[in-house]
Amino acid sequence: MKSLDELIFDNRFARLGDTFSSAVLPAPIEEPRLVVASNAAMALLDLDPRAADAPEFVQLFSGHKLWSTAEPRAMVYSGHQFGSYNPQLGDGRGLLLGEVLNNAGEHWDLHLKGAGMTPYSRMGDGRAVLRSSIREFLASEHLHALGIPSSRALCVTGSSTPVRREKFETAAMVLRLAPSHVRFGHFEFFYYTRQHEALKQLADFVLANHFADCQTEAQPYLAMFRQIIERNAELIARWQAYGFCHGVMNTDNMSILGITFDYGPYAFLDDFDANHVCNHSDDSGRYSFSNQVPIAHWNLSALGQALTPLIAVEDLRAALGLFLPLYQAQYLDLMRRRLGLQDADEGDEALIQRLLQLLQQSAVDYTRFFRTLGDSPAEQAVQVLRDEFVDLAGFDAWAADYLQRTQHHDDTPSARQTRMHGVNPKYILRNYLAQEAIQAAELGDYGPVRELHHVLSQPFAEQPEFAHYAQRPPHWGKHLEISCSS
Ligand code: AMP
Ligand code: MG
C-alpha cells in the first residue's frame, strides 16, 4: 500500500511531444472538498484507502497541488460529432496529469476533468459542474462492477467556484483513470490534417503500449485494428444486454481500448424501450438505444478511414465485416446467460427477440424482469412476472417456449438462482437515483452519493438493507431530461 507521495510516474504520452499534446497546468477550484472517492479505483494505484482522508488528496485532485513528476498535458484530437466532422476538438477542460506505474507493472492515466482552460477550450470555460462529475464517477465505478469495460473514477472534488450553465452551478473535478486516453478522434486528427508521419507515430505508440501482442503479427496495424473492432463489439454487446445508453457516441468519445468512455447524458433503461433516446439534445435520435450497434460500426469505419495510410482498404473492409457477427455472438451469449440458459439453441435469437417485443409493448422494467426471473424456479418465476404484461396470450406463449427450453436443465433451484443472480443485477444506476444523490450533494450533503456508490459497486449482491434502491422508479424519475450540458 502506498501513500500519495509514493506514486511513481512514467509519462509515456507526454514524451511523444508537442505534436500530440500541450503542457498546461491545472487551474484550481475554490474551497475544494472531497465529495466521494472509490477505494476500488485507489487500489489500482496501490493507494491505501486512508489516503483519501489526507488534506493532500483533495488538494491534488482540485488543482491546488501537483506531484513534481507529473507532466500535465492537454491532448489534441478531433472527431465526428453527430455524423459531421469537427476538425478541432481536444482536451478542452481535462488534463492528462501523467501515467502512474503500479506494483503490477501497469500504467494508469490520471486524467483530471474540469481542470480549467487549455488551447482546445474553444468557447468553453474549461470547467465541469458537480452534477456531471458525480454522474461520471457513479457510472464509471458501477459499469465496472457490472462487468462492462469502462474508464474508472478515483474521486470527485467539489468547490465554491461558480460555473454558468443553464443556471449557475458549482465547479467540480473528477479524476478519471484508464490505461489509455487515446480516442478514435486522435487518429482522425492526424489523418485529416495530413500529418501522416505523426499518424504512424501514434499508431506505433498505441501498438507498443496497448496492443503489444499485435507487434509480432504479419500485419501489426491490421491486427491492432481487428482487436479494436473485437473489443468494441464486446463492449456494445454488454451495453445492449444490460440496457445502457451512452447518449453521445461521437468518435471523440470512443476509446481505442473498447471501454465505455466520456460519460455525458447516459442512462440505463428503466422500462425496456429499444427506441429510447437518453440525450435530450439528440433531436434526430441518432444515438438511440438500438442505434448504438450500427453507430459503433459507423464509428469503427471512421477510424478505419483514418488508418488508410497504414492499412490497405480491402483489409480494413474485411476487418469491419467482423463487427456485426462478433457483436451478435457476444450479445446472444450474454442474453442466454441472463435467461439462465446453460447451452445454445438455434431458436434462442427468436426467443430473445420475442421477449424484447413483449417487454417493449408492456413497458416492463428491464432490470427487474431478469432479476425476478432468477428469484424462483422458472415455472414460478414466469407466473410472478405474468402480471406485468398486457398481452397475456403473447406472454403465455413465450413462457411456454421458455419453460420447454429450460426443461432439460438439471440444476437445483438454488444453483439456478445463484447463477442467474450472478449475471442479473439487483441494483442499477437509474437516472432518478443519481438525480436524488446529486440534489443532496448540491446542498452540501455527500452522504447519499457515497451510499449510492457503495450500493452500486456490488450490483449483484442482495444487500437487503438497501432494497429501496432496487425499486421501480417513481413516475417523475422516468422522464428526466438529461442534456449535453455538463
Ligand atoms: P464532450 O461533449 O464532453 O465529449 O466534449 C466535446 C468537446 O468539447 C471536447 O473537446 C471537450 O473538451 C470540449 N468541452 C466540453 N465542455 C467544455 C468546457 N466547459 N470547456 C471547454 N471545453 C469543453
Ligand atoms: Mg468527449
Domain boundaries, the chain: 4-181, 339-421
- 411 pLDDT exceeds 90? no
Atom 13 (ligand 1) nearest CA = 92
pLDDT at 369 (0 to 100): 98
pLDDT at 37 (0 to 100): 98
Section 437-459 average pLDDT: 98
Check pocket membership of 92 for ligand 1, CB cut-off 6 A.
yes
Percent of the chain with pLDDT over 70: 100
Residue 171 banded pLDDT, cuts 50, 70, 90: very high
Check pocket membership of 114 for ligand 1, CB cut-off 6 A.
no
- 481 pLDDT exceeds 90? no
pLDDT at 57 (0 to 100): 98
Q: Which residues are catalytic?
A: 252
Atom 11 (ligand 1) nearest CA = 92
Quick one: cell of 69?
513528476
- 409 pLDDT exceeds 90? no
Section 161-171 average pLDDT: 97
Q: How far apart are CA 32 and CA 43, in angstroms?
A: 23
Give the position, in ligand 1's atom list, of the atom nearest the Cα of 486: 16
- 382 pLDDT exceeds 90? yes
Section 357-381 average pLDDT: 98
Residue 410 banded pLDDT, cuts 50, 70, 90: confident
Check pocket membership of 87 for ligand 1, CB cut-off 6 A.
no
Section 254-275 average pLDDT: 98
pLDDT at 192 (0 to 100): 98
Residue 479 banded pLDDT, cuts 50, 70, 90: confident
pLDDT at 483 (0 to 100): 82
Residue 484 banded pLDDT, cuts 50, 70, 90: confident
Section 39-64 average pLDDT: 97
Return the ∠ at Cα 399 (arms to 393 and 401), rounded to 5°. 110
From 73, 93, 111, 166, give the residue whose CB has the most ligand 1 atoms within 8 Å, as the site to mutate. 93
Check pocket membership of 328 for ligand 1, CB cut-off 6 A.
no
Residue 224 banded pLDDT, cuts 50, 70, 90: very high
Range with the lowest mean pLDDT among 160-169, 250-259, 275-284, 473-482? 473-482
